[in-house]
């Protein structure tokens, strides 16, 4: 089932406008979030981020419309699921100039939550495709993911599971689908948004809870060498939560108990947020 502009359609097909700028130009944003017991985890954070991005794109969708569509789909998720909310600028005439009066499209889909991805060790290969830190799009969860798709394909060809993407200044940006952190002594470091980094919801949660776990959090530029020299490297993302990085470009990385302690803290947050739903997250 899928939800297009507030109407449910069976399967994955819906009567869609093929001149929609999300399809023709990548002109839109999305959010992906886990749903436990019918309740999306940190929905308000996801909608806040979406609204900040839409302001940068120059159009808006009523928060109540987004909340209603998400709620309608989340109610069908059973005990767990992964909900994707896509917002495009809607149909448009040929050319790049947006209509002054856009009619945005809102699409919601649901996929299974796969607990096996949580804390699955990652192996990374550095991709030649760079993250464009010189565009604000690199800081948005925007539809254009083709750079990341090509980076992932490169990494898979190199025998890794995911890509390490650098920015145009040779600094670490992200994996194809996750933020990157390193632990060094008591420091917990991740690249700043200016380095071409998505403002990840889990990234922010980890930074916000770092002090309580005994870490000194910092947003600072990192090189691949900084990852090689770390005590531990891990990835964050809304549906995989934490993934320790075991290998970078064929070299084994050090690790410690930091990533597991941070995962445990995230699980406590999820349990606390979802306690009233009576459902325990499936991990």
> Is 281 a residue that touches a copy of itself (CB under 8 A)?
no
> Is 142 a residue that touches a copy of itself (CB under 8 A)?
yes
Would you say 174 and 131 are in contact if contact means Cβ atoms under 8 Å apart? yes
Would you say 251 and 123 are in contact if contact means Cβ atoms under 8 Å apart? no
Q: For residue 164, what is the enclosing H or E element?
A: strand 162-166
Closest-CA residue to 167 (of 189, 201, 206, 137):
137
> Is 283 a residue that touches a copy of itself (CB under 8 A)?
no
Tokens describing residue 165: 């993407």
Query: Residues with Cβ < 8 Å from 110, sequence gap 6 or more?
Result: 1, 35, 73, 76, 77, 81, 82, 83, 84
CB of 208 to a copy of itself, least distance (A): 27
> Is 18 a residue that touches a copy of itself (CB under 8 A)?
yes
Interacting residue with a copy of itself among 27, 45, 69, 195 (CB under 8 A):
27
User: For residues 29 and 210, which CB has a smaller minimum distance to a copy of itself in the complex?
Assistant: 29
How many angstroms separate the CA atoms of 96 and 136, rounded?
A: 17
Interacting residue with a copy of itself among 58, 121, 159, 192 (CB under 8 A):
58
Judging by DSSP bridges, how do beta strands 187-190 and 241-248 pair with one another? unpaired
CB of 143 to a copy of itself, least distance (A): 5
Question: Strand, helix or coil at 161?
Answer: coil
Interacting residue with a copy of itself among 20, 31, 189, 195 (CB under 8 A):
20
Per-residue x/- marks for a copy of itself, 198-217, CB under 8 A?
--------------------
Q: For residue 272, what is the enclosing H or E element?
A: helix 258-273
- Binding interface with a copy of itself (CB under 8 A): 2, 4, 12-27, 30, 32, 56-58, 82, 84, 86, 88, 91, 93-98, 107, 109, 111, 129-130, 132, 134-137, 142-150, 152-153, 156, 168, 176-177
């Amino acid at each position: 089932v899928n939800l297009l502009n507030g109407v449910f359609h069976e399967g994955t097909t819906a009567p869609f406008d093929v001149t929609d700028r999300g399809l023709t130009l990548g002109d839109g944003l999305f959010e992906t979030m886990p749903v436990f017991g019918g309740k999306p985890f940190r929905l308000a954070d996801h909608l806040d981020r979406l609204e900040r991005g839409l302001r940068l794109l120059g159009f808006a969708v009523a928060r109540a419309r987004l909340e209603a569509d998400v709620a309608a789909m989340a109610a069908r998720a059973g005990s767990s699921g992964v909900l994707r909310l896509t917002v495009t600028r809607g149909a448009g005439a040929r050319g790049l100039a947006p209509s002054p009066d856009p009619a945005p499209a809102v699409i919601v889909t649901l996929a299974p939550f796969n607990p096996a991805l949580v804390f699955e060790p990652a192996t990374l290969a550095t991709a030649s495709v760079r993250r464009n830190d010189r565009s604000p799009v690199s800081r948005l969860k925007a539809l254009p993911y083709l750079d990341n798709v090509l980076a992932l394909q490169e990494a898979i060809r190199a025998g890794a599971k995911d890509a390490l993407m650098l920015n145009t200044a040779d600094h670490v940006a992200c994996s194809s689908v996750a933020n990157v952190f390193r632990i060094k002594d008591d420091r917990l470091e991740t690249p700043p948004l200016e380095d071409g980094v998505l403002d990840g919801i889990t990234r922010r949660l980890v930074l916000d809870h770092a002090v309580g776990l005994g870490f000194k959090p910092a947003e600072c530029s990192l090189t691949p060498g900084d990852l090689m020299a770390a005590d531990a490297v891990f990835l964050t993302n809304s549906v995989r939560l934490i993934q320790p990085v075991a290998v970078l470009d064929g070299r084994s990385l050090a690790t410690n108990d930091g990533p597991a302690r941070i995962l445990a803290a995230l699980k406590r947050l999820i349990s606390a947020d979802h306690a009233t739903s009576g459902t325990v997250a499936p991990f």
